[in-house]
C-alpha cells in the first residue's frame, strides 16, 4: 500500500514539475498537497522533493524568499537521507535564489558546492544546469569572457550527452553575450542554431525566448518586418501557455519597434505590458515598463504625461528597492538560521558588512531616481526647439508671483512677436525657420540672463519677457534693447526680390500688480500694445503705462 502511495506521489510530482512554468500557482498547490501527504505518511524523500517542487513554482513567480525557505528545508532532509542528487538540486536552487536577489558571491558559493558534489556522482543533466547557472552569474556581472568559458563547457557536455534542450538554451545564452557586445552577426548565428533545435523539441518557453532574441537582432539590423515577425511569433507562443510574466519583455520589444512608425500601436503594447506586470505583481518589470512609457511620452513632447509616468516609475522603484532589501534581509536571516553554532559566530561580522552594503546601494539607487525625476521636471518646462523656458513655465512663474508678491510690486510684461516670420519661412524653408527661432530665442535669453529677468517662448514666433522693480523709462529702454539686439542679428530674407532684415515688434504693459484684475488681464493689455506696433509698421515698441490710465 505504501509503495503504491509513493509511486502515485512521484507521478504527481512529475506532473507538478511539468506545470511549474506554465501554471506555477497550480503547480505550487499540488506540491503543497503532496508535501502534507508525504509528511503524514513519513515519506521523507517525497517530502523533500515536494518542497523542491514548491520552490520551483516560487522561482517562476519570483518569490525568492519562499523559494529559499523551502529549498533550505529540503536540503536538511536530503542531507539526512544522503541523497547526493537531491542535495545538488537543492544547492542549485539556492544558488539561483541568491542570483535572483543580486547576491552573486553567495550564488557562486552554492553553485560551486553543487558542482563539486557532481564530480563524485555523475549526472550530466544536473551538471549542465549548474554550469549554465554559473555562466549566468558571470554574464550578469558583465564578466563575459568567464561566462563564455562556462557556457562552452556546458555546451560540450550537452552535445556529448544528447541534452538537446539544454544545448539550445546554452546556444541562446552565448548568442546573448555576443548581442550585448554588439557582435550581431555572431549573435544571430548562435540564436539560429538554438532555434533549429527548439523547433523540433517544441519547448514553448525557451523557443519564444529565442524568437524574441532573434527579433532584437533583426531590429538593430534595421530589418523591422523580420523583427516584428519574430516578436509576434514569440508572443503567440507565450500567450498559448498563458504566461503573462514572460510576455512582458516581448511586448516591450514590440512597443519599441512600433514607436518608430505607429505610436498609437506602440502605446497599446506598452499598456498591455503594464497590465501584465501589474497582474503578475512583477514589480521590476513594471518599473521597466513605466520608465519606457515615460521616455516615449517625453520623445513625443508630451512632458506632462511623461512626468506622470516618471512619478509612477519612481514610486515603483522605491517599492522594488524596499522589497529587494527586505528580501535580502530575510534571506540573510534564513541563511543564519541554517548555520551551526560555530558558523553563526564567524558569520556575524560578514552579515553586518552585507547589511551596510545594502543600505549604501539603496541610497545610490534613490539618488539615481531623484536625478532622473529632476531631469524630467526641467524638460517639462523647457521648449523642445529653442531649449528656453516654455509657456507652461512662465504661466507657472507668473501665477506664483500673483499669489505671493506684494500688490504694490511694479512690473513690466512684454509680448514679443517676430515680424513677417511666415515670409522668412517661405523664403528659406522651415528648417531655416527653426534655426531663426533658436537664434532669436538665444539673443533674448542673453539679455534676460544678464538682467536676471524671466523669459519664455510663448508659442510659434511669440515670446514673453517679464521684469520687476523697474521704472517706466527703464522699461521703455529694455523694450527697445530687445528689439534692437534682434535686428542686429542681421537675419536677412527676400520679399519679391527685395532684401529685408528680420525684426521684432514689442508690446508691453507697465504698472503695479494691483493694477490688474488677474494675470490674463495683464497679458491681454500687452497683446493690444503689440497689435498697435504691428499695425503701425512693425519693428516698434509700444508700452501701456497703467499709472497714466
CATH number of the domain to which 188 belongs: 1.25.40.10
Quote the CA–CA distance of 211 and 175 in Å, as a whole number: 12
The last residue of one of the domains, among 222, 241, 260, is 241
Q: What is the pLDDT of residue 321?
A: 66
Say whether pLDDT at 202 is over 70: no
The last residue of one of the domains, among 380, 412, 445, is 380
Residue holding cell 552585507? 354
Instruction: Provide CB contacts within 8 A for 311, sequence distance 6+.
Output: 373
Residue 488, classified by CB atoms within 10 Å of its CB into exposed (0-12), middle (13-18) or buried (19+), is: exposed
203 and 341 assigned to the same domain: no
pLDDT band at 341 (very low <50, low <70, confident <90, very high): very low
487 and 421 assigned to the same domain: yes
Work out the average pLDDT over 213-217.
89
pTM, two decimal places: 0.60
178, part of any domain:
yes
Q: What is the pLDDT of residue 364?
A: 67
Say whether pLDDT at 329 is over 70: no
Q: How far is CA 315 from CA 156, 326, 362, 365, in A?
A: 45, 16, 14, 12
Q: Domain total for the chain?
A: 3
327 and 437 assigned to the same domain: no
231 and 284 assigned to the same domain: no
Say whether pLDDT at 62 is over 60: yes
Query: Strand, coil or helix: what is 333?
Result: helix
Q: What is the pLDDT of residue 259?
A: 86
Least confident range from 53-57, 212-216, 309-313, 347-351: namely 347-351
Q: What is the pLDDT of residue 459?
A: 87
Residue 537, classified by CB atoms within 10 Å of its CB into exposed (0-12), middle (13-18) or buried (19+), is: exposed
C-alpha cell at 211: 524568437
Question: The CATH number of the domain where 408 resides is what?
Answer: 3.30.70.270
457 and 467 assigned to the same domain: yes
Q: What is the pLDDT of residue 499?
A: 86
Between 345 and 529, where is the model more confident? 529
Interhelix angle 244-259/224-240, rounded to 10 degrees, is 160
**Contact of 201 with 165, CB cutoff 8 Å:** yes
218 and 304 assigned to the same domain: no
Quote the CA–CA distance of 513 and 377 in Å, as a whole number: 28
329, part of any domain:
yes
**Contact of 229 with 195, CB cutoff 8 Å:** no
Residue 362, classified by CB atoms within 10 Å of its CB into exposed (0-12), middle (13-18) or buried (19+), is: middle
255, part of any domain:
yes
Q: What is the pLDDT of residue 373?
A: 63
Neighbours of 395 (CB within 10 A): 17
409 and 481 assigned to the same domain: yes
70, part of any domain:
no
Sort strands 462-468 and 454-459 into parallel, antiparallel or unpaired.
Answer: antiparallel
Residue-wise pLDDT tens digits, 434-480? 999 999 999 999 999 999 999 999 989 999 999 999 999 999 999 99
Quote the CA–CA distance of 511 and 548 in Å, as a whole number: 9
Say whether pLDDT at 327 is over 70: no
Quote the CA–CA distance of 330 and 336 in Å, as a whole number: 10
167 and 270 assigned to the same domain: no
282 and 375 assigned to the same domain: yes
38, part of any domain:
no
Work out the average pLDDT over 386-395.
90
Residue 306, classified by CB atoms within 10 Å of its CB into exposed (0-12), middle (13-18) or buried (19+), is: buried
Highest mean pLDDT among 11-20, 379-388, 420-429: 420-429
Residue-wise pLDDT tens digits, 158-199? 999 888 888 988 998 999 999 998 899 999 999 989 888 887
pLDDT band at 505 (very low <50, low <70, confident <90, very high): very high
Range of the domain at 507: 391-548
63, part of any domain:
no
257 and 219 assigned to the same domain: no
Nearest-5° Cα angle at 291, 331 to 325: 15
405 and 544 assigned to the same domain: yes
Quote the CA–CA distance of 280 and 286 in Å, as a whole number: 10
Quote the CA–CA distance of 94 and 74 in Å, as a whole number: 11
Between 322 and 108, where is the model more confident? 108
82, part of any domain:
no
Radius of gyration for the chain, computed over Cα atoms and rounded to the nearest angstrom? 33
Say whether pLDDT at 397 is over 80: yes
Work out the average pLDDT over 358-386.
70
2, part of any domain:
no
397 and 520 assigned to the same domain: yes
Quote the CA–CA distance of 464 and 322 in Å, as a whole number: 45
Query: Strand, coil or helix: what is 16?
Result: helix
Q: What average pLDDT does the chain have?
A: 85
Q: What is the pLDDT of residue 343?
A: 45
Neighbours of 178 (CB within 10 A): 20
Question: The CATH number of the domain where 356 resides is what?
Answer: 1.25.40
The last residue of one of the domains, among 319, 345, 380, is 380
Amino acid at each position: 500500500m505504501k509503495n503504491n502511495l509513493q509511486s502515485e506521489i512521484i507521478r504527481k510530482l512529475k506532473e507538478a514539475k511539468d506545470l511549474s512554468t506554465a501554471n506555477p500557482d497550480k503547480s505550487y498547490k499540488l506540491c503543497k498537497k503532496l508535501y502534507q501527504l508525504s509528511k503524514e505518511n513519513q515519506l521523507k524523500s517525497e517530502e523533500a522533493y515536494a518542497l523542491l517542487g514548491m520552490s520551483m513554482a516560487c522561482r517562476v513567480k519570483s518569490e525568492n524568499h519562499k523559494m529559499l525557505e523551502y529549498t533550505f528545508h529540503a536540503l536538511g532532509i536530503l542531507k539526512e537521507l544522503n541523497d547526493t542528487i537531491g542535495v545538488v538540486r537543492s544547492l542549485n536552487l539556492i544558488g539561483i535564489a541568491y542570483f535572483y536577489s543580486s547576491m552573486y558571491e553567495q550564488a557562486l558559493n552554492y553553485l560551486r558546492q553543487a558542482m563539486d558534489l557532481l564530480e563524485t556522482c555523475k549526472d550530466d543533466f544536473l551538471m549542465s544546469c549548474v554550469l549554465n547557472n554559473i555562466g549566468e552569474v558571470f554574464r550578469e556581472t558583465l564578466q563575459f569572457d568567464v561566462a563564455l568559458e562556462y557556457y562552452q563547457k556546458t555546451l560540450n557536455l550537452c552535445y556529448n550527452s544528447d541534452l538537446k534542450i539544454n544545448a539550445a538554451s546554452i546556444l541562446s545564452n552565448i548568442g546573448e553575450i555576443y548581442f550585448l557586445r554588439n557582435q550581431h552577426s555572431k549573435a544571430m548565428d548562435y540564436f539560429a542554431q538554438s532555434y533549429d533545435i527548439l523547433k523540433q523539441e517544441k519547448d514553448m518557453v525557451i523557443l519564444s525566448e529565442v524568437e524574441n532574441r532573434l527579433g532584437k537582432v533583426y531590429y538593430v539590423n534595421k530589418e523591422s518586418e523580420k523583427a516584428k515577425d519574430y516578436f509576434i511569433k514569440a508572443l503567440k507562443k507565450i500567450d498559448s501557455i498563458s504566461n503573462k510574466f514572460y510576455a512582458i519583455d516581448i511586448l516591450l520589444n514590440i512597443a519599441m519597434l512600433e514607436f518608430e512608425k505607429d505610436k498609437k500601436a506602440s502605446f497599446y503594447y506598452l499598456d498591455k505590458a503594464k497590465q501584465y506586470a501589474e497582474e503578475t505583481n512583477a514589480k521590476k518589470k513594471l518599473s521597466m515598463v513605466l520608465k519606457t512609457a515615460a521616455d516615449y511620452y517625453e520623445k513625443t513632447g508630451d512632458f506632462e504625461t511623461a512626468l506622470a509616468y516618471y512619478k509612477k516609475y519612481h514610486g515603483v522603484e522605491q517599492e522594488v528597492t524596499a522589497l529587494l532589501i527586505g528580501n535580502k534581509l530575510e534571506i540573510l536571516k534564513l541563511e543564519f538560521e541554517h548555520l551551526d553554532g560555530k558558523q553563526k559566530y564567524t558569520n556575524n561580522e560578514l552579515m553586518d558588512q552585507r547589511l551596510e552594503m545594502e543600505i549604501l546601494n539603496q541610497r545610490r539607487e534613490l539618488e539615481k531616481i531623484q536625478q532622473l525625476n529632476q531631469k524630467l521636471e526641467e524638460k517639462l518646462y523647457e521648449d523642445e526647439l529653442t531649449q528656453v523656458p516654455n509657456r507652461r513655465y512662465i504661466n507657472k512663474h507668473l501665477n506664483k508671483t500673483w499669489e505671493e508678491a506684494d500688490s504694490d510690486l511694479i512690473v513690466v510684461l512684454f509680448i514679443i512677436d517676430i515680424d513677417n516670420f511666415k515670409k522668412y519661412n517661405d523664403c528659406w524653408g522651415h528648417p531655416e525657420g527653426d534655426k531663426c527661432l533658436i537664434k532669436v530665442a538665444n539673443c533674448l535669453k542673453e539679455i534676460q540672463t544678464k538682467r536676471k529677468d524671466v523669459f519664455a517662448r510663448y508659442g510659434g514666433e511669440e515670446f514673453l519677457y517679464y521684469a520687476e522693480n523697474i521704472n517706466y523709462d527703464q522699461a521703455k529702454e529694455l523694450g527697445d534693447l530687445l528689439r534692437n539686439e534682434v535686428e542686429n542679428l542681421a537675419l536677412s530674407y527676400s520679399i519679391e526680390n527685395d532684401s529685408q532684415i528680420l525684426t521684432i515688434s514689442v508690446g508691453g504693459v507697465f504698472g503695479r500688480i494691483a493694477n490688474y484684475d488677474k494675470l490674463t488681464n495683464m497679458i491681454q493689455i500687452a497683446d493690444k500694445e503689440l497689435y498697435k506696433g504691428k499695425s503701425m509698421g512693425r519693428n516698434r515698441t509700444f508700452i501701456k503705462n497703467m499709472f497714466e490710465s
